[in-house]
């Protein structure tokens, strides 16, 4: 069978302040003791294996000559085991053919492939204002340092984008970037999500699971909404950070880890310490360096630049759009309590309700009112479902349109659905496709 070079290899390099990586192609990261650190774009069908003729050669005797095939689909990436001897595993479960739509790690013998779907917020950081440029310049200085970083900012200011910047311009760029939302954890599974578990560790643990720290080994772990972490888990997290070692739930083996932790919060953690909700010693350990992202209302120079970027993203699904001068004025007059995420939502609804190429003031004012009605409250399942339907059930695109990570979108969809007793109606959208 003829081979086609389907991917371009990307070498780690510093990225500019405005746009980090405009491509929406899935990314395939290669790991394992013999493979070195590589990252490639997935544009067409790819065969990975130990053969030199494979599109992606893995230097691993436990990998078959043609081990697995990957190709992009409208909903994510399809994975197919090509009759390999040692199998393809996701979270300890062998799979023969599966479609994924969120970041996933594949086990192939002693090697790993990590498939990621870069979101627009992670690929691009728009910074026209002096205040935001100062944040990015400081982040670039911090990127080369080994210390933990605490990012503070209101909801929707783009904290994950800054964490990604810290990772991608530093020495850990070849390693994995793992992002988890501490506020979205199921309470009973917080420790498992962070530190992993062994098979049989608790009811329902039918396979071993690598926690976030293990998956981030050699790279960066981004702990979003760290202020939501329960006190008992804070104590264990502190031990892990100090000792640089973990043990899975139900296991006795101690694993050394090499992880840089970047945490983020919208809360005043000093006040949370005084209230007894957050450990002072953990705060000191997480805040070796700190960054504060100013709210959008304090940097009006970024509003129209962000709007142009979001319209560019929306044009992939809705066609090219521009703003009238009066529409731009309406955007500039708004205070954005939801920050850049609210701006994205406003533009999403304005574009969806406008048939013409030019989005006018009326559409913007109507969208501001509609989005503003929800305020800072969690989005309802109806609203989440409406956006999901607009994007054909594609969670990645729906989450992108709302300006949130896919993991946050899935969690909010699940929780909102349960709260409104409409789980059966939208479960098909909310579950992870495997």
Residue 156 predicted with pLDDT over 60: yes
Closest CA to 402 of 423, 420, 379, 434: 379
Q: What are the pLDDT digits (tens) for 78-134?
A: 999 999 999 999 877 889 999 887 778 899 998 989 887 765 444 457 788 889 988
10 Å Cβ neighbour count for 24?
17
Which CATH code is given to the segment(s) 299-374?
Answer: 1.10.8.60
More confident: 323 or 318: 323
Q: Which of 312, 305, 21, 261 is nearest to 161 (CA)?
A: 21
- Alpha helices (runs of H) in 198-338, residue ranges in sequence order: 212-215, 231-243, 269-275, 280-286, 303-318, 325-333
Q: Which two tokens stand for residue 143?
A: 């990127």
pLDDT digits 0-9 by tens, 345-391: 999 999 998 889 999 998 998 898 888 655 444 455 665 775 676 56
Tell me, letter by letter, the H, E, C secondary structure of 376-432.
CCCCCHHHHHHHHHHCCCCHHHHHHHHCCCHHHHHHHHHHHHHHCCCHHHHHHHHCC
CA nearest 164: which of 132, 133, 119, 214?
Answer: 119
- 432 pLDDT higher than 90: no
Give the DSSP letter string of 293-313: PPPGGG-GGGHHHHHHHHHHH
* E strand or H helix at 134: helix 130-143
Domain 381-431 top-level CATH class: mainly alpha
Query: Which sequence spans correspond to the domains of the chain?
Result: 7-116, 130-292, 299-374, 381-431
CA–CA dist 246, 234 (Å, integer) = 14
Please tell me the predicted confidence (pLDDT) of residue 191: 82
CATH classification code of 130-292:
3.40.50.300
Q: Name the residue among 160, 136, 142 with its Cα closest to residue 224.
A: 160
* 95 closest CA partner among 60, 118, 70: 70
Residue positions counted in the chain: 434
Residue 373's pLDDT is 55
- Please tell me which residue, 286 or 131, carries the higher pLDDT value: 286
Q: CA quadruple 243, 247, 253, 258: dihedral positive or negative?
A: negative
What pLDDT is stored for residue 349 in this prediction? 92
For residue 334, the model assigns a pLDDT of: 92
User: Of residues 49 and 395, which shows the higher confidence score?
Assistant: 49
Q: Express each pLDDT in 200-223 by its tens digit.
A: 777 777 778 888 999 999 999 999
Residue 320, classed as helix, strand or coil, is coil
Does residue 177 carry a pLDDT above 90? yes
Q: What's the pLDDT score for residue 326?
A: 93
- Percentage of the chain beyond pLDDT 90 is 43
Distance CA 416, CA 378 (A): 8
Q: Which pLDDT belongs to residue 382?
A: 60
CATH number of 7-116: 2.60.200.20
Work out the mean pLDDT of the chain and round it to a whole number: 81
Task: Classify 158 in phi/psi space as left (phi over 0), alpha (psi -120 to 50) or beta.
Answer: left
**Cβ atoms within 10 A of the Cβ of 280, count?**
12
pLDDT in tens, 260-279: 999 999 999 999 999 999 99
Residue with token string 């066609």: 319
Q: Is the pLDDT of residue 189 over 90?
A: no
Answer whether residue 21 shows pLDDT above 50: no
Closest C-alpha among 347, 343, 429 to residue 389: 429
């Amino acid at each position: 069978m003829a081979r086609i070079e389907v991917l371009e290899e990307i070498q780690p390099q510093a990225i500019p302040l405005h746009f980090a990586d405009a491509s929406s192609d899935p990314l395939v990261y290669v790991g394992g003791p013999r493979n070195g650190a590589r990252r490639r774009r997935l544009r067409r069908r790819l065969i990975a294996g130990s053969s030199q003729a494979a599109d992606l050669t893995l230097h691993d005797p436990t990998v078959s000559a043609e081990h697995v095939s990957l190709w992009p689909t409208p909903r994510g990436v399809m994975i197919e085991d090509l009759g390999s001897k040692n199998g393809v595993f996701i979270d300890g479960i062998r799979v023969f053919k599966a479609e994924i739509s969120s970041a996933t790690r594949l086990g192939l013998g002693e090697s790993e492939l990590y498939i990621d779907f870069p979101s627009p917020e992670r690929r691009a950081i728009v910074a026209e204002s002096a205040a935001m440029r100062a944040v990015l310049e400081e982040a670039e200085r911090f990127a080369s340092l080994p210390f933990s970083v605490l990012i503070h900012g209101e909801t929707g200011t783009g904290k994950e984008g800054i964490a990604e910047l810290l990772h991608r311009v530093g020495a850990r760029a070849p390693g994995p970037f793992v992002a988890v939302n501490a506020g979205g954890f199921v309470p009973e599974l917080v420790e498992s999500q962070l530190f992993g578990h062994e098979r049989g560790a608790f009811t329902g643990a039918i396979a071993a699971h690598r926690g976030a720290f293990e998956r981030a080994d050699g790279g960066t772990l981004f702990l979003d909404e760290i202020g939501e972490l329960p006190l008992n888990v804070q104590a264990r997290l502190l031990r892990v950070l100090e000792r640089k070692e973990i043990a899975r739930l139900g296991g006795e083996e101690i694993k050394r880890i090499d992880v840089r932790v970047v945490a983020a919060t919208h809360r005043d953690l000093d006040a949370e310490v005084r209230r007894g909700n957050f450990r002072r010693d953990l705060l000191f350990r997480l805040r070796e360096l700190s960054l504060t992202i100013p709210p959008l209302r304090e940097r009006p120079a970024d509003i129209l630049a962000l709007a142009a970027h979001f319209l560019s993203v929306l044009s992939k699904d809705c066609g090219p759009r521009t703003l009238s001068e009066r529409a731009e004025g309406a955007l500039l007059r708004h205070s954005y309590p939801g920050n850049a995420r609210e701006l994205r939502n406003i533009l999403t609804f304005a574009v969806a309700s406008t048939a013409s190429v030019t989005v006018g003031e009326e559409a913007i004012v109507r969208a501001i009112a509609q989005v503003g009605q929800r305020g800072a409250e969690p989005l309802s399942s109806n609203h989440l479902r409406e956006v999901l339907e607009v994007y054909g059930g594609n969670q990645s695109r729906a989450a992108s349109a709302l300006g949130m990570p896919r993991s946050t979108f899935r969690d909010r969809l699940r929780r909102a659905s349960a709260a409104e007793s409409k789980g059966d109606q939208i479960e098909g959208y909310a579950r992870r496709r495997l």
